[in-house]
């Protein structure tokens, strides 16, 4: 597990366009669809087809795969379930990209929520800033990523998922 933690212990940056958001994962030694699925709280049966791969063929060392962000593991409202933790997921601000547009691009995330999660007072963030735009919800006892967890996304948000 130490190799996994070194390789994956950097901010998780969301890729893709709504509703097909995903994370990039590079396969490490001794990883397979099932261990990666536990890491990201997603079924191996979702990972393989999302990558146009066959579950039966396995994975190769250093293979780059996409981890789908779906209702079961992507949270933008509410709190973690019992036995689960929330890991911040980031968007890197591009040139001339405003907070409002970023919120719209991430499932119409309210501007107030985006500001609260990122402790922003104004209406802009500098180019290259990593902003929290959601959370990866994982099982605390199954995912080595759980050490990157935050307690919850925001105070007083209603309990429902996006």
* Confidence grade of residue 124 (pLDDT, cut at 50, 70, 90): confident
- Annotated domain spans of the chain: 2-148
Q: Are strands 74-75 and 130-139 parallel, antiparallel or unpaired?
A: antiparallel
Q: What is the pLDDT of residues 38-64, one digit of tens each?
A: 999 999 999 999 999 999 999 999 999
Q: Residue 5: its pLDDT value, please? A: 42
Q: Residue 151: its pLDDT value, please? A: 67
End-to-end Cα, the chain, rounded Å: 31
Q: Residue 152: its pLDDT value, please? A: 57
* C-alpha to C-alpha distances, 152 to 32, 55, 86, 95, 117, nearest whole angstrom: 29, 33, 6, 29, 10
Query: 10 Å Cβ neighbour count for 121?
Result: 5
- The Cα 111–Cα 24 span in angstroms is 26
pLDDT at 8 over 80: no
Positive or negative: CA dihedral 14, 16, 22, 27 = negative
Q: Residue 67: its pLDDT value, please? A: 98
% of the chain beyond a pLDDT of 90? 77
pLDDT at 142 over 60: yes
Beta strands in 53-124 (DSSP E): 64-68, 74-75, 84-92
pLDDT at 159 over 60: no
Give the mean pLDDT of the chain: 88
* C-alpha to C-alpha distances, 52 to 94, 102, 107, 156, nearest whole angstrom: 29, 28, 25, 40
């Amino acid at each position: 597990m130490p190799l996994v933690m070194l390789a994956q212990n950097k901010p998780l940056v969301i890729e893709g366009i709504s509703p097909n958001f995903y994370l990039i994962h590079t396969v490490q030694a001794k990883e397979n669809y099932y261990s990666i699925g536990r890491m990201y709280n997603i079924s191996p049966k979702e990972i393989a087809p999302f990558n146009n791969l066959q579950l039966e063929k396995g994975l190769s060392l250093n293979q780059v795969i996409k981890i789908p962000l779906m209702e079961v593991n992507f949270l933008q409202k509410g709190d973690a379930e019992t036995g689960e933790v929330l890991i911040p997921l980031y968007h890197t601000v591009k040139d001339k990209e405003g907070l409002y547009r970023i919120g719209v691009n991430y499932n119409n995330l309210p501007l107030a929520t985006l500001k609260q999660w990122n402790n922003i007072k104004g209406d802009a963030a500098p180019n290259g800033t990593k902003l929290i735009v959601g959370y990866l919800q994982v099982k605390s006892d199954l995912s080595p990523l759980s050490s990157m967890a935050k307690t919850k996304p925001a105070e007083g948000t209603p309990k429902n998922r996006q």
